């Protein structure tokens, strides 16, 4: 299929292009090659056309002064808040507590059910009952291998980082895709990589109590994408 040279397009032209793509029956790769369009740009415009315009809100302050939260202990301080605004973000909630007790998490979520993406904080563990599924954090698992590699230049840690980076690279490719397309990408390409990584971790036999043991244990628990 002959490719057309790429050119700058107005918003109106992009809207017309997205409509033509929807009616073409072509794959995004073939359509973009024929029209001289960057595939990531096409997906970005598709998402912008299918998403409702966000409600304008005032920017949050960089710091929230917590004041004196508990006069008996004189707990005070400032909390830095950083929010990245995205169309896919329906909202954000902040529940500040003076301790890391798991009871605060349980009280905040109450009877909520669904998939909960968390780090390895022990306060979440009691929530993984019927109706609440754990979505583990690969950034948290990767950090343990990264620390081993940085401090000891550990060859197993280096291999783990390489394998995890392949998952991250696939995820980066899907950044501009629709939810359905990203799901297919993960099932077709990320899932085999994940299964190979988990099998590799399961075959390792590090000495209990070592840094590698803890890293492998954490990584082996991340069985979901």
Q: What is the pLDDT of residues 178-193, one digit of tens each?
A: 889 999 999 999 999 9
CA distances from 220 to 6, 67, 196, 197 (A): 45, 42, 11, 9
**pLDDT, averaged across the chain:** 77
Residues in the chain: 225
33-47, 103-117, 167-181: which is most confident: 167-181
Residues 38, 69 contacting (CB under 8 angstroms): no
Burial string for 74-102 (b: 16+ CB within 10 Å, else e) reads eeeeeeeeeeeeeeeeeeeeeeeeeeeee
Better pLDDT: 99 or 193: 193
What pLDDT sits at residue 87? 47
State the pairing for strand pair 75-80/63-70: antiparallel
d(CA 223, CA 221): 6
Phi, psi of 224 (to 5 degrees): -120, 160
144: tokens are: 């343990």
d(CA 225, CA 212): 22
Q: Where is average pLDDT lowest: 5-9, 84-88, 128-132, 151-155?
A: 84-88
Whether the pTM exceeds 0.85: the reply is: no
Q: 3-class DSSP state for residue 171? A: helix
Residues 145, 215 contacting (CB under 8 angstroms): yes
pLDDT tens for each residue of 7-47:
667 777 778 888 888 888 888 888 888 888 888 878 877 87
Res 82 pLDDT > 80: no
Q: How many CA atoms lie within 13 Å of 67's alpha carbon, on the beta-carbon side?
A: 3
Res 152 pLDDT > 70: yes
The whole-number average pLDDT for the span 188-214 is 92
């Amino acid at each position: 299929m002959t490719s057309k040279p790429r050119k700058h397009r107005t918003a109106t032209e992009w809207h017309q292009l997205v409509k033509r793509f929807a009616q073409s029956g072509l794959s995004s790769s073939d359509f973009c090659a024929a029209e001289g369009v960057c595939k990531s740009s096409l997906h970005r415009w598709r998402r912008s056309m299918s998403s409702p315009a966000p409600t304008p809100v005032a920017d949050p302050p960089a710091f929230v002064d917590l004041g004196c939260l508990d006069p008996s202990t004189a707990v005070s301080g400032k909390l830095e808040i950083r929010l990245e605004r995205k169309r896919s973000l329906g909202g954000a909630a902040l529940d500040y507590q003076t301790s890391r007790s798991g009871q605060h998490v349980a009280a905040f979520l109450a009877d909520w059910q669904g998939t909960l993406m968390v780090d390895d904080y022990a306060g979440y563990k009691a929530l993984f009952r019927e109706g609440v599924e754990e979505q583990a954090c690969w950034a948290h698992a990767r950090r343990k291998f990264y620390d081993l590699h940085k401090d000891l230049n550990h060859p197993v840690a280096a291999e783990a980082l390489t394998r995890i980076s392949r998952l991250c690279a696939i995820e980066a490719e899907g950044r501009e895709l629709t939810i359905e397309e990203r799901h297919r990408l993960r099932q077709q390409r990320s899932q085999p990589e994940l299964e190979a990584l988990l099998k590799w971790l399961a075959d390792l036999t590090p000495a209990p109590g070592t840094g590698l043991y803890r890293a492998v244990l954490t990584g082996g628990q991340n069985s979901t994408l």
